[in-house]
Copies of this chain bind each other. A is one copy, B any other.
Amino acid sequence: MSAEKTVDLGQVQDIDVLNLSSLEERAKKVIGQGEFGYISEGSDDEYTKKRNTSAFNDVHLVPRVLQNVEEPDQTTEFLGRKLSSPILAAPIAGNTLAHESGEMGLAKGTKEAGVMMAQSTFASKTIAETAAVSAGAPYMFQLYMPKDWGYCKYLLDEARNAKASAIILTADSTLGGYREADVLNHYHLKGKIANLDGYNTGKDGVGAGGLFAESMQSLNLDLIDKLAAYSGLPVIIKGIQHPADADAAIKAGAAGIYVSNHGGRQLDGAPASIEVLPAIAKVVNHRVPVIFDSGVRRGTNVLKALASGADLVGVGRPFSYGLALGGWKGVAAVAEHLKMEINIAMQLTGSKTIEDVKNIQISHDLKF
């Protein structure tokens, strides 16, 4: 606790949140053009990015009434951690693009709001810096598998030290999607990769260039056991879009399935994430928990994802925008707004608990 006090989390301020979507235009004014392009863009024609959000309109929640609901309880557990809401601040690279406090601001904001966060390998702050702020709050580490096993071990060690609940192995990004905003802005992700700098510290004569552990392209199922064995942590696979991959990953030892299309930043032409969730959840069949992200902007989106089989629902860009606008207070405000919307949606669907939400009837075609 006192550790936090010594940390500089940059300029912070309270922000009003009308809704999550409205933050984008506001954030655009305070983030550099290249940085904003990088955060907001999708790949190719942004079909999948746009469809991620619009596809939620095709999922209807059929409300129940006279269910004796009062003050619904949206607390939940994930991998043994108690959460104030089934919300995850989904892992995003380089949060100092949005705000000087980077992942530390994100850690502080999500901790205050009682929701989980995940930190990317490509974070702007080291795992240790972030953990100092997070200080035991629910936390996961997202791994972009390095080619260099030494660097990988370092990251896993740091994650374990940071009391990460799980390692999230990124499976859908062995190459970056083609993103035109970056081309138009002549933008290349700038700034230090904090964790890599941390790894190099104290090593003699090994420059960042020489040792640069670029990510491994050729991933396979064997990595799951390898990562779990070394780290002693549960391994969750992120970027699952096909039921067969979910099944294979679980059989290979995955402790969780993370359904995502990377916010439409990777394969354009992939289905909306919410479209593939039901078939995957059916195959998973509660063997392991399911995380979902891509396109979530409303409390009802969270309910739709839970009712479609998710256990934890990630939100990405809106947290970056909240961070940009208010530092950690902006992050907390985004989480609190979403919790407010979730609360109303639970009451109006007749759901007392998150378990009830999971049983809401989804009416794709109203054939009931």
Contact = CB atoms under 8 A, between A and B. Distances in A.
A350 to B, nearest CB: 8
Nearest to A55: B366
Interface residues of A, number: 74
Contact of A304 (B171, B269, B348): B269
B366 A275 contact: yes
A61 to B, nearest CB: 5
A60 B184 contact: no
B65 A366 contact: no
Given A217-B347, A275-B366, A344-B175, A223 B66 contact: yes
Given A217-B70, A219-B68, A269-B300, A18 B184 contact: yes
B363 A68 contact: no
Interface stretch (A109-117, A189-197, A233-241): A233-241
B300 A63 contact: no
A25 to B, nearest CB: 15
A100 interface: no
A261 B300 CA distance: 15
Contact of A366 (B71, B276, B363): B276
26 contacts: A18-B184, A19-B45, A44-B300, A59-B269, A60-B270, A62-B241, A62-B271, A62-B276, A63-B172, A63-B239, A63-B266, A63-B267, A64-B242, A65-B172, A65-B237, A65-B241, A66-B219, A71-B217, A175-B344, A177-B344, A217-B347, A267-B349, A268-B300, A271-B366, A276-B363, A279-B367
In order of increasing CB-CB distance, the 7 nearest A-B pairs are A65-B171, A70-B218, A269-B300, A70-B217, A267-B348, A60-B271, A175-B347
Interface of A: 18-19, 44-45, 47, 56-57, 59-71, 171-172, 174-178, 180, 183-184, 217-221, 223, 237, 239-245, 248-249, 261, 266-271, 275-276, 279, 298-301, 303-304, 340-341, 344-345, 347-349, 361, 363, 366-368
